[in-house]
Structure 1
Amino acid sequence: MKASTLIRRGAAQPCRPVPRHLLAPADFARLPAGLVEEPSLALLSLWAEPAMVHAAFLEEESGALLLASTPAEAGHYPALSPARPGAVRFERMIHDLWGLAAEGGLDPRPWLDHGRWPLTAPLSARPARHGAPPEQPSFLPIEGEGWHQIPVGPVHAGIIEPGHFRFTVQGEMVVRLEQRLGYTHKGTLGLMLGKSPRTAARFAARLSGDSTVAHSLAFAEAAEAACETTAPPRAAWLRAVMLESERVANHLGDWGFLCNDAAFAFPHARCGMLREAMLRAQLAAFGHRLMMDRVIPGGVAVDLAPEGADALLAALALVEAEVPVLDAIHEDHASLQDRLVGTGVLAPELARAFAAGGVIGRASGRAFDARLAFPSAPYAGAPPEAVLRQEGDVAARMRVRIAELTDSIRLIRRLLAGLPAGEIHAPLPQRGGEGLALVESFRGEIATWMALDDGGLIRAVFPRDPSWLQWPLLEAVVEDNIIADFPLCNKSFNCSYSGVDL
């Protein structure tokens, strides 16, 4: 039986915009076989709360969302990783945070818990004190002649987030990469519990600072769905302006750093200047360079400043004028193209298997954009233009970024021109409920689920950053590339450490 049919047979629990289907453990155990039979059913997210496990799926062909849950009897639940490799790190995270074990899972090693927390399974019903000394992280073994391992991090040379990379190489060729993250674990989920969505929104805004608008928006829309309310029209349009401005600034930054990692400093300097112009315009328009804490449940915290539209339009004009020039320069340099073309290829079938979103998925032929699949009112009139490539290499990911930032400029101009008048915030009713929201960040879709108790306080929440499904693919694309090309592969992905360390 197909997995989607099996899920829909579960008892429907109230959740917006789609019900959550409660499956008996025996039926949930049949999901892996159903998923093998239905390869187009993509796993979007997997998370838990005490004694319960939840999964979110997307029917790629119809665009329908499906939510499935099952009780974790005696602290165990059937693993999904044998059928969906993207579930591996979710299952490891669930064990670390809630103490629930995935029966039949492909990888039982710790993920977030490095053995230094005062408690084990801190989000479980009964956390236990951590009495054992920290263990050294374990990596897959290697056998044979001529193999070497290169450990990198977690402390790096630049001002970047910490993460450990373990390369297995033969000569200059990378044959395996393993990642060890969790160094920026902040206990965010625990900090959100028991608080009102309005209070907890500050934590969502800080999950991954470069995606502060997108994470705040997904959190706010999940809270609004749970409360069965919506933000005022003007707030919805201002949110879209902020979201697209964030996309432009981050794509500019990634473009420049990609060139810098190929020792081509001029585009890096110019893209840095353009990104700075966007950040200053965002400060003038919304009072904060990154627009942090500007999107809140119920609407937005501040209105567009009187001169804000002019500041944004001036910065966009500057970017738009220089993008073709920079594009032509980097296309004309054979040495740069030699580093980018054919490097770090992500096969389309692998992108589909992991449901890779954002630039990474669209550069490898997976045509999913949450703005198109689940359009909100600001995007309904003139939706984003779908940008799709098939090559799957570093160059393709760069080309998608450049096309997307150009399209975002068009969208921001249209949004500012059609900005409706009215209120910018509506109060959230103090009531219980569940909600799910998908928001397209510059990295891909963020999927945030929230459950409120009868007093309107957060009973459970899980914000799924796009990087959960992208980090494993970085391990795949770097194989059979030389070690010197890892920075290019890494920057072309630009996954968030903090977003998955929670």
Structure 2
Amino acid sequence: MSAVTLKNCGLVPLAALEILDFCAFAAALRQEVDAQGRIAALFAAPAGEQFDLFALIARDWQGQLALLRSRVGARYPSLTPELPQVHLFEREIAEQYGLVPEGHPWFKPLRFHPSWTGRDAWGRDPRRHPLVGEMDYYRVAGEEVHEVAVGPVHAGIIEPGHFRFQCHGEQVLHLEISLGYQHRAIEAQLPSAHPLARVQRLEAAAGDTSIGHATAYALVCEALGATLAPPRAQTIRALALELERLANHVGDIGGLATDVGFLPTASFCGRIRGDYLNLGAEICGSRFGRGLVRPGGVAFDVEAPRAEKMLERLDSMARDTQGALEIFFDSPSVLARLEGTGRVRVEDAEALGLVGVAARACGLAVDARLHHPQGAYVDTFDHVVIEESGDVFARARVRRREITDSLAWVRRALRDLPGGELRRRVAPPAAESLAVALVEGWRGELVHLALTDARGHLSRYKIVDPSFRNWSGLALALRGEQISDFPLCNKSFNLSYCGFDL
């Protein structure tokens, strides 16, 4: 039995997705992974008294996506022991719908919120949220092993998250990360929300990735309505997405400079990040790009005089960026702190399904702009930046090189904006269908999927932010490291709490 294949931003009628017996579903999923497929999403949707399981597989080097479907009851055999990529997806399904993946090696709540259906896989009282102290954390036994708990409330201006270290002296033996304190039930709200409210919620799904999530949502809507945004709108979307990437990559390198006490780059990048955000505000008035991307196109234009003004400012910002990065990467004291710290092996990154900067720093060529291009990226993006050491230095180097590539891409886009309209009317969504969109956000791959019912209304909307995949990578990066290296490793991943807590 073969999966249904489609391209990025494609649509499949649900009737075309065969409902496989679970054993056949699991075998097909293993076969896809053995053939170098990545499990981009695994999620459930109600189907009467049972539940449909959907798996989205990214066949990167074929430029294809594949879909598998099965139907299960309240319990099913866990896929995690053989396919570690799904370990969080299975816990998420258990929390949302109360389904139990029997044999899951670490079966515990993921975000600590009541089940969507009122059925709870752990027998918890759905009227209350359990406290951190009630959670079952992994513990390392042994003489002189001690535990350090950090958060969820932190000393700095930071979102809440709980980190529990098992240490021997200063060496970290194990780190367990517990999130969920930012949970807003966005996925559960989307099907019944007004269309305008949907895009506003998604722009805030991960606030530093407003353009990325809004673009993915627009592409899903356009796939459901068999509508293609105009070329000018596609280019403006990609332009805003690259400015979002530039602002955050520059900010991250400034954060790394702060964590190693290198103040020149820290201060420069803090200001330059603001410059990139302000350049994005030139397009739509919002420094985070909110209100720009809408289904069918964009709501704001970049006229020729504005494009010229943006190019002039970009040239000055590029020089400042280059100077700030050069003094950082040319400093021996900086390199001594970055090199060899927080290493993640490529086999571990692949097993966990890491994406984005974290994956590319381990040598994995995972980039939706190359493998699954859409819009203005088609035929304009031809290579992926990768490093191989998998450490903090590699993650910093990936950002530095991607800054150079993004600057070149933005310049070309501003000089060669296509003519034509900004927005087209999107046709009503196809009934009983599934649509999917992959967008390469600045952290990594964003995955959005939508299911419609017989009337063409949304019945299920699934979001996978790259942080959902990559927090497990941070936990691995700390094994064997000094606990004092946690801030540096954490910043080198710079993952979103609220992006995880959808």
**In structure 2, do the counterparts of structure 1 residues 437 and 40 end up closer, same or farther at CA, with 3 Å as the change threshold?**
same
User: 1:286: which partner in 2?
Assistant: 284
Q: Do the aligned partners of 1:80 and 1:87 also contact (CA within 8 Å) in 2? A: yes
User: 1:3: which partner in 2?
Assistant: none
How is 1:100-249 mapped onto 2 (pairs within 5 angstroms)?
A: 100-113=99-112, 117=113, 120-123=114-117, 130-131=126-127, 134=130, 136-195=134-193, 197-249=195-247
Provide the secondary structure at the position in 2 that maps to 1:175: strand
**In structure 2, do the counterparts of structure 1 residues 306 and 98 end up closer, same or farther at CA, with 3 Å as the change threshold?**
farther
- TM-fit CA distance, 1:33: 5.4
Amino acid at match of 2:358: I
CA distance in 2, matches of 1:449, 1:56: 9
**In structure 2, do the counterparts of structure 1 residues 194 and 486 end up closer, same or farther at CA, with 3 Å as the change threshold?**
same
**In structure 2, do the counterparts of structure 1 residues 35 and 305 end up closer, same or farther at CA, with 3 Å as the change threshold?**
closer
Q: Do the aligned partners of 1:285 and 1:305 also contact (CA within 8 Å) in 2? A: no
Q: Do the aligned partners of 1:45 and 1:464 also contact (CA within 8 Å) in 2? A: yes
**In structure 2, do the counterparts of structure 1 residues 318 and 157 end up closer, same or farther at CA, with 3 Å as the change threshold?**
farther
Amino acid at match of 1:470: N
Q: Do the aligned partners of 1:281 and 1:308 also contact (CA within 8 Å) in 2? A: no
User: 1:387: which partner in 2?
Assistant: 385
Please identify, of 57-66 and 257-266, the stretch whose mean Cα deviation from structure 2 is larger. Answer: 57-66
User: 1:23: which partner in 2?
Assistant: 20
CA distance in 2, matches of 1:386, 1:475: 25
Please identify, of 359-368 and 47-56, the stretch whose mean Cα deviation from structure 2 is larger. Answer: 47-56
Give TM-score scaled by structure 1 length.
0.91
Deviations 1:242-287 (A, max 9, x none): 1111000010100100110111121011011111111122222221
User: 2:357: which partner in 1?
Assistant: 359
Provide the secondary structure at the position in 1 that maps to 2:377: helix
User: 2:336: which partner in 1?
Assistant: 338
Provide the secondary structure at the position in 2 that maps to 1:470: helix
Amino acid at match of 1:102: P
Deviations 1:363-391 (A, max 9, x none): 11101210111222422343154211111
**In structure 2, do the counterparts of structure 1 residues 381 and 86 end up closer, same or farther at CA, with 3 Å as the change threshold?**
closer
- TM-fit CA distance, 1:131: 4.9
Q: Do the aligned partners of 1:225 and 1:434 also contact (CA within 8 Å) in 2? A: no
CA distance in 1, matches of 2:330, 2:128: 58
CA distance in 2, matches of 1:310, 1:456: 43
**In structure 2, do the counterparts of structure 1 residues 171 and 300 end up closer, same or farther at CA, with 3 Å as the change threshold?**
same
CA distance in 1, matches of 2:459, 2:392: 41
Give TM-score scaled by structure 2 length.
0.91
2:90 is aligned with 1:96: no
Provide the secondary structure at the position in 2 that maps to 1:220: helix
- TM-fit CA distance, 1:199: 3.8
**In structure 2, do the counterparts of structure 1 residues 366 and 354 end up closer, same or farther at CA, with 3 Å as the change threshold?**
same
- TM-fit CA distance, 1:60: 4.3
**In structure 2, do the counterparts of structure 1 residues 132 and 330 end up closer, same or farther at CA, with 3 Å as the change threshold?**
closer
Q: Do the aligned partners of 2:209 and 2:442 also contact (CA within 8 Å) in 1? A: yes
CA distance in 1, matches of 2:5, 2:38: 21
User: 2:482: which partner in 1?
Assistant: 482
CA distance in 2, matches of 1:126, 1:360: 33
Provide the secondary structure at the position in 2 that maps to 1:30: helix
Please identify, of 375-384 and 457-466, the stretch whose mean Cα deviation from structure 2 is larger. Answer: 375-384
Q: Do the aligned partners of 1:222 and 1:448 also contact (CA within 8 Å) in 2? A: yes
- TM-fit CA distance, 1:103: 2.6
CA distance in 1, matches of 2:160, 2:387: 31
Amino acid at match of 1:471: W
Provide the secondary structure at the position in 2 that maps to 1:149: strand
Q: Do the aligned partners of 1:53 and 1:77 also contact (CA within 8 Å) in 2? A: no
CA distance in 1, matches of 2:406, 2:451: 32
User: 1:269: which partner in 2?
Assistant: 267
CA distance in 2, matches of 1:468, 1:416: 33
Q: Do the aligned partners of 1:285 and 1:309 also contact (CA within 8 Å) in 2? A: no
- TM-fit CA distance, 1:202: 1.2
How is 1:274-423 mapped onto 2 (pairs within 5 angstroms)?
A: 274-304=272-302, 307-383=305-381, 385-423=383-421
CA distance in 2, matches of 1:489, 1:384: 30
Q: How many residues align?
A: 487
Q: Do the aligned partners of 1:22 and 1:70 also contact (CA within 8 Å) in 2? A: yes
**In structure 2, do the counterparts of structure 1 residues 268 and 123 end up closer, same or farther at CA, with 3 Å as the change threshold?**
farther
Q: Do the aligned partners of 1:24 and 1:71 also contact (CA within 8 Å) in 2? A: yes
Q: Do the aligned partners of 1:165 and 1:180 also contact (CA within 8 Å) in 2? A: yes
CA distance in 1, matches of 2:397, 2:323: 14
> Which residues of structure 2 form unaligned runs of 5+?
none
CA distance in 2, matches of 1:121, 1:80: 21
**In structure 2, do the counterparts of structure 1 residues 133 and 439 end up closer, same or farther at CA, with 3 Å as the change threshold?**
closer
**In structure 2, do the counterparts of structure 1 residues 465 and 132 end up closer, same or farther at CA, with 3 Å as the change threshold?**
closer
User: 1:40: which partner in 2?
Assistant: 36
Amino acid at match of 2:215: L
Amino acid at match of 2:452: L
- TM-fit CA distance, 1:356: 1.6
Q: Do the aligned partners of 1:439 and 1:447 also contact (CA within 8 Å) in 2? A: yes
Amino acid at match of 2:23: A
**In structure 2, do the counterparts of structure 1 residues 230 and 35 end up closer, same or farther at CA, with 3 Å as the change threshold?**
closer
**In structure 2, do the counterparts of structure 1 residues 342 and 21 end up closer, same or farther at CA, with 3 Å as the change threshold?**
farther
